Amino acid sequence: MRNWLFKAIAALTLLLSLTGCGYNDFQRLDEGTKSAWSEVVNQYQRRADLIDNLVNTVKGEAKFEQDTLNQVIQARAKATSIQVTPETLNNPEAFKQFQAAQGELSGALSRLLVSVERYPDLKANKAFSDLRVALEGTENRIAVARDRYIKAVQEYNVLARSFPTNLTGMIFGYKPKENFTVANEAQISNAPKVDFGTSPSAPASR
């Protein structure tokens, strides 16, 4: 009887100590980062789907430069080939690869949309115009989702690095998570512009 009572008291003491050392906060914030990350991935996937439709529409313009189109196709394939899971958040190398691939796709998409200025028929295509508007909305959603993720990770990392909750983190394997770096954040937060005026590079009318 005494042995059982001793174990019960020890378990209760451990539970109270974990609560006071941030164990429950780790659970809450860890789930928060995963949820925020899922939304980031969801919006990037939405963009990839829209780009696929955009590429098919552009292919209808027989004279459109293939190099620019191929860059988008290849960048999209690379970005979508990277498997992202909740574990990606704890893998710095995988996280950086994901960021780099999405940044490369953003750049290729921007170049594609700029080059469209040379093709009046394509610019006037309603399907293409609708896709550009949808892309603009998606880029805004990506920016919002990414901002929420950054804030969720910051809150989690403060807990993971602060004393005494960092001791709880070490015991249970809750390490600081990767966040968007300054360089990559600056790169991929430049949403492709989808409403251009006359491009300076467009050939002059004759």
pLDDT on residue 192: 45
CA dist., res. 149 & res. 3, Å (int): 47
Taking Cα atoms as reference points, which of 111, 197, 193, 146 lies closest to residue 36? 146
Cβ atoms within 10 Å, residue 156: 25
For the chain, 206 residues long, the average pLDDT of each consecutive 10-residue run is 55 50 89 93 95 89 84 94 82 89 93 89 88 94 94 94 88 88 48 40 38
pLDDT on residue 7: 53
Rg (CA), the chain: 24
Decide: 113 and 193 in contact? Cβ < 8 Å. yes
Taking Cα atoms as reference points, which of 153, 124, 141 lies closest to residue 61? 124
Query: What is this structure's pTM?
Result: 0.74
pLDDT on residue 19: 52
pLDDT on residue 206: 33
CA dist., res. 28 & res. 59, Å (int): 47
Cβ atoms within 10 Å, residue 160: 22
Cβ-count burial 108-138 (b if 16+ within 10 Å, e if not): bbbbbbbbbbbbeebeebeebeebbebbeeb
CA dist., res. 187 & res. 171, Å (int): 36
